[in-house]
Structures are given as structure tokens and as C-alpha cells.
Amino acid sequence: MGNYKVSKKQEVLKQADILKYNTLIIRQLNTISKIQTKISKVKMSEAVSNINTLVTKEYLQTQVENQYFERKGLGDKDIKPTKIAEELIGMLNADGGILVFGVSDKGEIEDLNILGDKLKSYRTLTFDFIQPACNVELEEIEIEGKLIFLYHVEQELERIYYRKDNENVFLRVQDTNRLLDRDRIKKLEYDKSIRRFEEETIKDFNSEDLDNELLEEYKTKLNYRGDVLDLLVKRHLAVKKEEIYIYKNSSVLLFAKDPEKYIPSASVRYIRYEGTEPLTGVSHNVVKDERFENNIPRLIDEIKSFLKASFKDYYFLDMESGRFKKVPEYPEEAWLEGIVNALCHRSYNVQGNAIYIKHFDDRLEISNSGPLPAQVTIDNIKTERFARNPRVARILEDLGYVRQLNEGVSRIYESMEKSMLSVPEYHEKNGNVYLILRNKISGHSKTIHNSVMEKIENEWVAYNETQRKIILYLFMYHKATLSEIVDYIKINENTIRSYLNKFIEDKLLDKLSTKQRDINAMYMFKKQ
């Protein structure tokens, strides 16, 4: 019996030791798993390209295709070498970029080795199908043991590229590749000649004039490990000769503390007028005149803060809740995109004329020197894109000031529409491009009193659909006749009149007429 008790005790101890051992093993496995997860995350964020440190595994898998980035997977309908050559031609003629071959649209890493002997034709396609000789660097990399190709495309300032076998010319616009006709090719040739300004070098540039803090931000953004000045060379913003850095106009515009020291009128001027038209002489109505002088990224930040403080608010009627929501005079997305576009596309070679932001009571005008880029017209401005200063545009996208430049104009239209404001207006006059954004703040602030808005919000649930539409129409147009409201709502006149009379009794509306049944009488919200 004694031996049995001892062996039983030993067995219990043994089981406890096994339990402790298993617990320890589980903890170690969990620790290993966490370490592996951390390593995996680090690998995802590490650059996989020696040419462009922005390119990580995550970038290749998740980056949205845009002006500068294209994926081609093995499962695509047309992945012949000629098709990839056409995509590269489009990038060469536009703003350059990266074409990755071997990653699907869903971000799956594939293995080009399965192409076998056919892979050779993808290595030589720039020589076989693109004319003239181009600056496309092929980088072959392995991810998880799978081979993919990165075609690094450097945009060409002067030459037009085409397919060697059929002379077709392509241009990348947004995330699509377009075949150009003769007229478009001529316009492309014209615009390429204007682009040369940002490539010109600055004589006697003092490197102490560089914004080193901004350069470090850019270096961090690109995950670049080397010297920041070498990064400028890699991004074609400077050249290095015998250990001496020579800076281009593009680098001065982007990274100098005071670009105007080297490029006259590289600034933005804001003018606030009292009223709706500029007046001179004794009627001079300028109430504020501010000039902003800095590099383009800092300009964007400074102007953004300044305008947000300068704009008034107005009320927007939410038809679902019946609440009046306070919104800015202009949607930020609209005016900010307009300013970024002006900074990207102005002709900096036309000196003596800054970008102007003219602020009137009823509108905002943004103008910049130089006509529209050759591929763009007033009619196609929402869909067409061609960067006049591609170096500037590319760096601004790298820094995150724009998601995709090609979306900019569309966002201006969309944000104005969401705010129930007028359609943006583009004009081209005297060699300048003008964007006009119109507001409704003067009408709203003068026609709707706070007490009226409060009554509408309190009674909104009790109003039927017709009553709500009457309120919305008067809110949008400030005043209206009975017939105008009838035409809008499509309900018989007597019903509309009865509702209008009820609103008058409730002290929401005023009828601007002394006659009992005046068909031309105006109805509007009470002012107090």
C-alpha cells in the first residue's frame, strides 16, 4: 500500500510537470508566432526595389493603379510583349512611372518563371518594339521565391515614343493607355517643349537655401536610406557632377525656402474684395491683400490654413433629418484641389505673374499663368490629364498632397455638387486659366433667421413631403412666386397656396405683396 501511494504521488507530480512543460511550450510558440508576425510586418514595409525605395511588397499588392503605376498579371487577357510595350510607351510620353509584371489586379504575387523561354521576349521588348531608344530600366526581383519584373519608366521631355513595327503613339492618362491620332500627337509635341523649364538648372544656387526639414520628411516618406541630396538626383530634381550638386528649377520650386529668390513670381497672392466686382479709385474695395512666398508643399499648407480661417459658414438643409447643418462657404476639397492644380500646371517660365486667389462676396476665382496643357480643353477637363510640370506633380503625390492628380478636377465638381453649389466654371483668357467657384452664402445669411431655422427643425417631423419641398425650394432660391413653386413640386395651385398661407400664419414666411391674390407675389423666409 505504501509503495502504491508513493507511485501515485509521483504520477501526479509527473502530470503536473508535463502540464507546466506544455504551458511553457505554448508560450514559446506564441512568442515565436508574434516575432514572426513582427518580422512579416517589417518585411511588408521594407523596400523590395533597389531603384525606387517607395516600392514595398505592400505597395505592389495594394497601391491603386494611377498615372504612375500599372499592374500586369499572368491572367490578363493580353499580356503579350507588344501590349506591355504599348503601356510603357504611354508612360514614356506622359509622366513616367512603374509597370509591375507578375502581380495580378487582386495583388497576388505570381511567378514569371512559368513562362520559360518566352520570358526572354519580355526582357528585350524595349529594344524590339519601342522607338526611339528609351530610358526604361528593367529590375528583376524575387518575392517569396517568385520572380516579378519592375519596369521603371523615366518620362521624356522632348521626344515622342511609338511602336517600332506600326508607329502607333500612346499616352497614359489616369490609369488608361490611349492611342493618339495625328492632331493629338502634334499637341503632345507642343506641350513637351513647354515642360523643359522645370528641367533647367539654376546657376549659383546656394544649398543653404534648401528646406532641410521638408527634405527629411520626403526622405522618410520614400523610405530612403541614403543621403537626401542623392535622393534629389534619383528623383531627377538635381544632377551630380564631380561631387557637386546642380539643382533644377523643379527642386527649387519644391524644396527651396524662398523660390522667388531664383524664380520670380513663384508665389500665390490672395485678394479679398468687398462686393461682387473689383472697383478702383475712390470706390477701391480691396479689404485684404496677402502674398504667400514659399516652396510648393509649404504654400499648400499655409494657404489651406489661411483660407479655412477666411471663409464664412452657411447652412445646408438636410432633407432626411430636417436639420440645418453649418458648412463652409466653399467645400475644402474643391478650393484646395483648385489651388494644387494651379501650382502643378502653371507655366513658371511666364514670369511676372503669380497665381491669384480673388475672393468676392459671391465667388472665388483661382487663376494661373499659361494656357491649358495641350491635351486638355475646357470640354474635356474633367477626364483628360497632362501634367505641365510632371516632376512637381510626382513629388506632390509622393508627399501625399494629392491622392491622384488626375482625379482632382472631378473631385472639384463632385464636392460642389454635394454642397448644393453651382457647377465649377473654367475659362481660358489672355493666356491664363481661371477656375470660378460660386457660393450661396450671401443669400442664405440674409434670408433665413436663426429663429426661423429653429422652428423648421422643431416642426420637421410634422411636415408632409409637399411642405418639405416648399421649404427646400425657398431655401435654395431664397424667394419665389406661387407659380414657380407649383412648377417645381407639380402639385395643384390651391394646395400649395394653403401651405404657404399656413407658413405665413406660423411666422415662417413673408408674402411681399399688399394684394389678396397677387399671382406675382414673392414668398420668402422671415428675416426676423
> Mind listing the pLDDT tens digit for each residue in 211-235?
999 999 999 999 898 999 999 999 9
Q: Check residue 32 and give its pLDDT.
A: 47
Q: Span 11-33, mean pLDDT?
A: 51
Helical H runs in 80-211?
81-93, 119-123, 125-129, 182-194
| 3-class secondary structure, 166 | coil
Q: Which three cell numbers stand for residue 277?
A: 466686382
Q: Which amino acid is at 143?
A: I
For the entire predicted model, the pTM comes to 0.64
Q: Terminus-to-terminus CA distance in the chain, angstroms? A: 103
Residues 6+ apart with CB under 8 A from 184: 169, 171, 375
d(CA 40, CA 46): 10
The CATH architecture to which 57-180 belongs is: 2-Layer Sandwich (3.30)
Q: Where are the domains of the chain?
A: 1-45, 57-180, 268-441, 448-525
Quote the percentage of the chain above a pLDDT of 70. Answer: 88
- What is the tens place of the pLDDT at every residue in 249-282? 999 999 999 999 999 889 999 999 999 999 988 8
Residues 6+ apart with CB under 8 A from 197: 249, 347, 348, 349, 389
Instruction: Give the position of cell 520628411.
Output: 217
Q: How many CB atoms lie within 10 A of CB 19?
A: 10
| 3-class secondary structure, 427 | strand
- Name the average pLDDT for the chain: 85
| 3-class secondary structure, 6 | helix
Better-predicted residue by pLDDT, 271 or 79:
271
Q: Check residue 461 and give its pLDDT.
A: 92
CATH class label, 268-441: alpha beta
Instruction: Give the position of cell 511602336.
Output: 163
On the question of pLDDT at 402 being above 80, the answer is no
Q: Do domains 268-441 and 448-525 have the same CATH topology?
A: no
Q: Which three cell numbers stand for residue 358?
A: 480673388
Q: Which three cell numbers stand for residue 34?
A: 508574434
The answer to which of 116-130, 308-322, 325-339 has the lowest mean pLDDT is 308-322
Q: Check residue 255 and give its pLDDT.
A: 97
Task: From 290, 430, 440, 276, select the one nearest 356 (Cα to Cα).
Answer: 290
- What is the tens place of the pLDDT at every residue in 352-380? 778 999 999 999 999 988 777 767 788 88
Q: Check residue 37 and give its pLDDT.
A: 41
CATH 1.10.10.10 fits 448-525, yes or no: yes
Contact 523, 479 (CB under 8 A): yes
d(CA 169, CA 153): 16
Q: Which three cell numbers stand for residue 174?
A: 489616369
Better-predicted residue by pLDDT, 328 or 521:
521
On the question of pLDDT at 468 being above 50, the answer is yes
Q: Which three cell numbers stand for residue 476?
A: 435654395
Q: Check residue 43 and give its pLDDT.
A: 47
Torsion of CA 78, 79, 83, 88, to 10 degrees: 140
- DSSP code of 66? B
On the question of pLDDT at 41 being above 60, the answer is no
Q: Span 281-305, mean pLDDT?
A: 94
Q: Check residue 20 and give its pLDDT.
A: 52
